[in-house]
């Protein structure tokens, strides 16, 4: 029986552990935190929040993999009445529909955007600067970056299509992402995976292949490899619980600047006590901006969509996610240019900033399967078999 060590018990680490165990390997997972999940942790207590707004997109390969293993669990569908309460801030006011010119960028059959041009320049040629900026700001919901227009046109276009697809790809596991993590951990345990929590690894083991499924910053420190860098977003996060009031919007997308607020209890009432609503927002901020700058912009959106919210607040939390929001590709780069999964000497990377395709958590999933495939490939197992096991 082959042995594999996985460092990190988040979504990528658990995907790697399950895949390796299903292929017959003996797996040990080391997690520095006292609970599993990484950024997919859901807080315990009356307000079940994730680290920023989370959704599970059903258009990626991880959806079928999770569903086949019954790991998704119950979903919290968004009622049609709530979906109709999506609002867009444009020119300082809320509106129900996007600018007409923006729709030109969403047409089916539109030409594939180039990799080596920035999105704002490419989209401006096709729909005008106003629509291009609105589209760039809207897609911040899937980018967490302060200037999406400056990124690769192909990179942003893919995420714009995914974020606006009908019917929507985004789905919400009931009870938060922790419910998915709990089911993944349960499957890992049933497969014989050994999981050690509160177990920070300072030195790589040399007697097994190692999958490093941590943030890129943590991997850089662990491996002593300064080349393990890639651009990511920096985002002010705000969590609010407010007393319920009729007329509150479901979500506000800021087309004037990158930003998104969402009332998560619109689809999942289990996330807050009865009579309260849980709102989570993410406001991308530039390197020179502070958390206070992002929070101030979030409060502007709250003023528009949640009348009297200040007097209704029952709980509030603010934070900054710095380099923890996935990879972004600058013009001239693609996922293939990110840090490679195979680091040599039996060490493999998995996570959302490494060389693997996908959107959001799909990158972690794909890189985890690739890492395990490479680790076991030397023993004659077809790497592609792991995707369909």
Chain segment 359-386, per-residue pLDDT in tens? 989 999 999 999 999 999 854 444 444 4
What is the Cβ-side half-sphere exposure of residue 161, based on CA atoms within 13 angstroms?
Answer: 17
Cα dihedral sign, 355-357-362-366: negative
Q: In what order do the strands lie in the sheet with 260-263?
A: 93-95, 86-90, 251-254, 260-263, 276-284, 232-243, 313-327
pLDDT at 339 over 50: yes
Mean pLDDT across the chain: 93
For every residue of 64-76, DSSP letters joined together read HHHHHTT-S--B-
Helices vs. strands in the chain: H and E counts, helices first: 12, 15
Q: Tokens 């606006």 map to which residue? A: 164
**Six-digit token string for 156:** 């942003």
Can you tell me the distance from the alpha carbon of 250 to that of 84, in angstroms, rounded to the nearest whole number? 8
- Of 182, 293, 201, the C-alpha closest to 238 is 293
Largest CA distance in the chain: 64
pLDDT at 42 over 80: yes
Phi, psi of 143 (to 5 degrees): -125, -35
pLDDT of residue 323: 85
Mean pLDDT of the 149-173 span? 94
Can you tell me the distance from the alpha carbon of 138 to that of 295, in angstroms, rounded to the nearest whole number? 18
Can you tell me the distance from the alpha carbon of 145 to that of 281, in angstroms, rounded to the nearest whole number? 14
By CB atoms closer than 10 A (0-12, 13-18, 19+), residue 319 is middle
Question: Residue 349 carries which DSSP code?
Answer: E
Question: Residue 142 carries which DSSP code?
Answer: G
Can you tell me the distance from the alpha carbon of 59 to that of 159, in angstroms, rounded to the nearest whole number? 11
pLDDT of residue 39: 87
By CB atoms closer than 10 A (0-12, 13-18, 19+), residue 315 is middle
Give all domains of the chain, ordered by start, each with its CATH number: 3-41+177-230+332-388 (3.40.50.720), 42-97+165-176+232-327 (3.90.660.20), 98-164 (no CATH)
pTM above 0.85, yes or no: yes
Mean pLDDT of the 287-299 span? 97
Can you tell me the distance from the alpha carbon of 145 to that of 157, in angstroms, rounded to the nearest whole number? 14
pLDDT of residue 186: 97
pLDDT at 300 over 70: yes
**Could you give the C-alpha distances from 200 to 34, 104, 203, 211, 314, in angstroms and in order?**
10, 50, 9, 14, 36
Query: Residue 1's pLDDT band (boundaries 50, 70, 90)?
Result: low
Query: Residue 160's pLDDT band (boundaries 50, 70, 90)?
Result: very high
Q: Report pLDDT digits (tens) over 109-144.
A: 778 999 999 999 999 999 999 999 999 999 999 999
Can you tell me the distance from the alpha carbon of 298 to that of 261, in angstroms, rounded to the nearest whole number? 8
Can you tell me the distance from the alpha carbon of 53 to that of 51, in angstroms, rounded to the nearest whole number? 7
Q: Report pLDDT digits (tens) over 180-230.
A: 999 999 999 999 999 999 999 999 999 999 999 999 999 999 999 999 999
Contact 363/326 with Cβ under 8 angstroms?
Answer: yes
Can you tell me the distance from the alpha carbon of 76 to that of 266, in angstroms, rounded to the nearest whole number? 9
- Of 28, 40, 26, the C-alpha closest to 352 is 40
3-state secondary structure of 94: strand
- Of 240, 238, 221, 334, the C-alpha closest to 279 is 240
For every residue of 176-240, DSSP letters joined together read -THHHHHHHHHHHHHTT-EEESS----S--SSS-EEE-S-HHHHHHHHT-TT----EEEEEEEEE
């Amino acid at each position: 029986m082959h042995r594999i060590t996985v460092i990190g018990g988040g979504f990528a680490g658990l995907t790697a552990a399950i895949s390796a165990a299903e292929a017959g390997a003996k797996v040990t997972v080391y997690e520095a935190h006292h609970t599993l999940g990484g950024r997919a942790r859901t807080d315990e207590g009356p307000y079940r929040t994730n680290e920023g707004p989370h959704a599970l997109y059903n258009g990626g390969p991880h959806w079928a993999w999770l569903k086949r293993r019954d790991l998704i669990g119950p979903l919290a569908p968004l009622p049609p009445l709530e979906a109709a309460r999506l609002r867009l801030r444009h020119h300082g006011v809320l509106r129900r529909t996007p600018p007409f010119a923006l729709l030109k960028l969403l047409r089916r059959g539109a030409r594939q955007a180039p990799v080596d041009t920035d999105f704002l320049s490419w989209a401006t040629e096709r729909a005008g600067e106003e629509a291009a900026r609105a589209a760039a700001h809207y897609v911040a919901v899937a980018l967490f970056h302060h200037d999406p227009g400056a990124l690769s046109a192909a990179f942003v276009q893919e995420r714009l299509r995914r974020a606006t697809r009908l019917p929507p790809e985004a789905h919400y596991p009931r009870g938060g992402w922790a419910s998915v993590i709990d089911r993944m951990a349960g499957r890992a345990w049933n497969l014989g995976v050994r999981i050690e929590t509160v177990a920070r690894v300072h030195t790589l083991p040399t007697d097994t292949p190692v999958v490093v499924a941590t943030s890129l910053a943590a991997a850089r420190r662990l491996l002593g490899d300064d080349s393990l860098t890639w651009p990511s977003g920096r985002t002010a996060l705000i969590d609010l619980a407010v007393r319920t009031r009729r007329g509150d919007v479901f979500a506000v997308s800021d087309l004037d600047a990158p930003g998104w607020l969402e009332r998560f209890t619109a689809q999942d009432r289990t996330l807050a006590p009865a009579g309260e609503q849980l709102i989570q927002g993410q406001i991308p901020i530039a390197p020179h901006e502070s958390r206070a700058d992002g929070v101030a912009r979030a409060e502007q959106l709250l003023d528009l969509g949640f009348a009297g919210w200040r007097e209704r607040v029952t709980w509030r939390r603010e934070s900054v996610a710095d380099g923890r929001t996935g990879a972004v590709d600058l013009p001239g780069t693609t996922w293939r240019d990110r840090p490679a999964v195979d680091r040599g000497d039996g060490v493999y990377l998995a996570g959302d900033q490494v060389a693997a395709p996908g959107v959001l958590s799909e990158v972690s999933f794909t890189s985890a399967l690739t890492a395990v495939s490479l680790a076991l490939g030397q023993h004659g197992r077809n790497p592609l078999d792991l995707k369909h096991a």
